[in-house]
Amino acid sequence: MLIRIDFQSDVPIYLQLKNQIVHGIANSELQPEESLPSVRQMAEDIGINLHTVNKGYNLLKDEGFVTIDRRKGAVVNEIPIKPSEKVKETLKDELKNIIAQAHCFGMDKEEFINECLSMYDEYNK
C-alpha cells in the first residue's frame, strides 16, 4: 500500500497516515494479520519523523484497527471491529460536522444521503 502525505495540508501528518491506513483496511488493501512496516521503516519510506508514525500507529491501536506486538509490530485486526463507545461518539461528532458543512454549502438531504451511500458501497465490493 502506498502512503501519500500532503505536506501542504492542514490535516496533521499523523492523521493523514492513520486515515490512509484505515482506508487500506476498509478496501482490503491491508488484510487482517498483515504487519504494517516498522515505525522506523514507515518514517523512512514516506520521509517523516518516526515519532509522527508512532503517534499514528498508537491512534490506530487505540481505535482498534491494529494490535501492536513487540515482535511483529503493528498488525491489522480482523474486521468488522467492535468500536468502543468513545470511538462511536467521535464518529458521530465527525459526521455532525460533515452534515453541518454539507447543509451550509446547500447540499440537500437526498443528495447527501446518495453520496454517502455511493461512498459506503465502494467498501462493500
* Residues 52-77 pLDDT 10s: 999 999 999 999 999 999 899 999 99
Q: Which three cell numbers stand for residue 97?
A: 460536522
Whether 90 is in a domain gets the answer yes
> What is the rounded distance in angstroms from the CA atom of residue 93 to the CA atom of residue 30?
27
Q: How confident is the model at residue 80 (pLDDT cuts 50, 70, 90)?
A: confident
Question: Which pLDDT score, from 0 to 100, does residue 81 have?
Answer: 80
Q: Note whether 21 and 64 are same-domain residues.
A: yes
pTM, entire model: 0.85
Phi, psi (rounded to 5 degrees) for 90: -65, -45
Q: How confident is the model at residue 95 (pLDDT cuts 50, 70, 90)?
A: very high
Q: Note whether 67 and 94 are same-domain residues.
A: no
Q: Note whether 49 and 94 are same-domain residues.
A: no
Looking at the 3D structure of the chain, how many domains does it have? 2
Whether 7 is in a domain gets the answer no
Mean pLDDT of the chain: 94
> What is the rounded distance in angstroms from the CA atom of residue 103 to the CA atom of residue 98?
9
Question: Which pLDDT score, from 0 to 100, does residue 125 have?
Answer: 66
> What is the rounded distance in angstroms from the CA atom of residue 123 to the CA atom of residue 125?
6
Q: Note whether 29 and 67 are same-domain residues.
A: yes
Domain's final residue, options 59, 76, 93: 76
Name which of 40, 46, 79, 41 is nearest 60 in CA terms: 79
Question: Which pLDDT score, from 0 to 100, does residue 73 have?
Answer: 94
Q: Note whether 72 and 105 are same-domain residues.
A: no
Q: Note whether 71 and 89 are same-domain residues.
A: no
Range of the structural domain that residue 41 is part of: 13-76
Give the pairing of strands 73-76 and 66-69.
antiparallel
Q: Is the pLDDT of residue 120 over 70?
A: yes
Whether 35 is in a domain gets the answer yes
Return the beta strands (E) in the chain as ranges. 66-69, 73-76
pLDDT, tens digit, for every residue of 9-35?
999 999 999 999 999 999 999 999 999
Q: Note whether 55 and 110 are same-domain residues.
A: no
